[in-house]
Structure 1
């Protein structure tokens, strides 16, 4: 059941917005019980592939949704835990992804993108910033850069990667000896990246984001010693 629906999506026979037949019709067509159909639909809904509406009206039933970012985050988090990737692997991937994002953002960010990034840096500068709030703003800043690159896949990958390492990032923040200094440093680095993007200097933005990421992980490593 799962495999058959997934294959239809891969083949292009099911697209976002398409409605699936009823549980009874699916069961009859595939030769499986309604319980099996219901369980498969639940799995696909949890993956963000389907959106289910209960009831018996015109809008009831399952529709192809295409909301896969949360599922991608969960899968990536599990894969990272099981595969035990090194921190160097994570840093390398982040750098390449974010260099691409800021370079493209510098070439094509619109007014709304830039205002969103400015608002995030202003929020980071507010006094009394705690670990979780700063992580939320920090993550959204990097995701907003990816979104400004106008590359949907880069945006989804960035969102998934940031979600997957959320626990590790907050734990890293807690290990920092002088949290206020760290917040100030990271915020200034974000501002420098934003200025380069605003100036349309993709090369400078890419170099700044590289130093930003490497510097953070170096500082966190020092805090553990």
Structure 2
């Protein structure tokens, strides 16, 4: 006779979590979309058979996650709507997950390289003139003298995020933004380890320009090689854990 399957502890689900689950299910099955208004607190209390405190707690959690926007007061603008800030929610969750999981730097860099390769390869075929002009403006802004760590990080992040958006792959762009938001502190710490900051800015900007030039020329293979070398070289130069090579 085979052994009985292992008994598992039944998890108690708090009331506000049940409200969360119902709202999330409606988002997942397409009943709620960006911009849709949720029922009022009073309506949710009635249809779900829960307390107003439970509804409010669930809505506070969803707002903190960036899934809903809550508008206080009365009138047509009051209440909660499904937010259009999906990348904010993804960034927050990824930042927390990375802090708790403590991934190896090499794993992080390898994933970023593959994402960047995808972005530049598709951008080489899909980017429109306006997107390329915006990217070139960012590289020009990087040449301004006296950029501090924070400002250069803003420009650097914007360059890579806009490059991903120029691929016209919406998921890749959202993942890129979430990843860059999640590693902001690590990037600033890496910048602080640079001995000659002005030389580093000049070198990184030149690499950005070379990547962009390849994308503008439709040279996807070259752009992939350049962006991989750019990322791997930066982490090696600041003494980070060396990611695996191809």
Same fold (TM over 0.5): yes
2:200 is matched with which residue: 171, 182, 188? Answer: 182
Q: Distance in 2 between matches of 1:45 and 1:97?
A: 29
1:56 is matched with which residue: 46, 70, 74? Answer: 74
Q: Distance in 2 between matches of 1:63 and 1:78?
A: 25
User: Across the two proteins, how many residue pairs are aligned to each other?
Assistant: 223
Q: For residue 104 of structure 1, what is the aligned residue in structure 2?
A: 122
- What runs of 5+ residues in structure 1 fail to find an aligned partner? none
Q: For residue 45 of structure 1, what is the aligned residue in structure 2?
A: 63
Q: Does 2:174 correspond to 1:156?
A: yes
Can you list the C-alpha shifts for 1:7-66, whole angstroms capped at 9, x where unaligned?
Answer: 111111111222111101101111111111111111112222112222221221111123
Q: 1:122 Cα shift?
A: 0.5
Contact 1:47 1:68 in 2 (8 A): no
Q: Does 2:41 correspond to 1:23?
A: yes
Q: For residue 134 of structure 1, what is the aligned residue in structure 2?
A: 152
Q: Distance in 1 between matches of 2:238 and 2:226?
A: 18
Q: TM-score, normalised by structure 2?
A: 0.88
Matches within 5 A, 1:72-111: 72-111=90-129
Q: TM-score, normalised by structure 1?
A: 0.96
Q: By percentage of residues, which structure has more helix?
A: 1
Q: 4+ residue runs of structure 1 moved beyond 2 angstroms?
A: none
Q: For residue 219 of structure 1, what is the aligned residue in structure 2?
A: 237
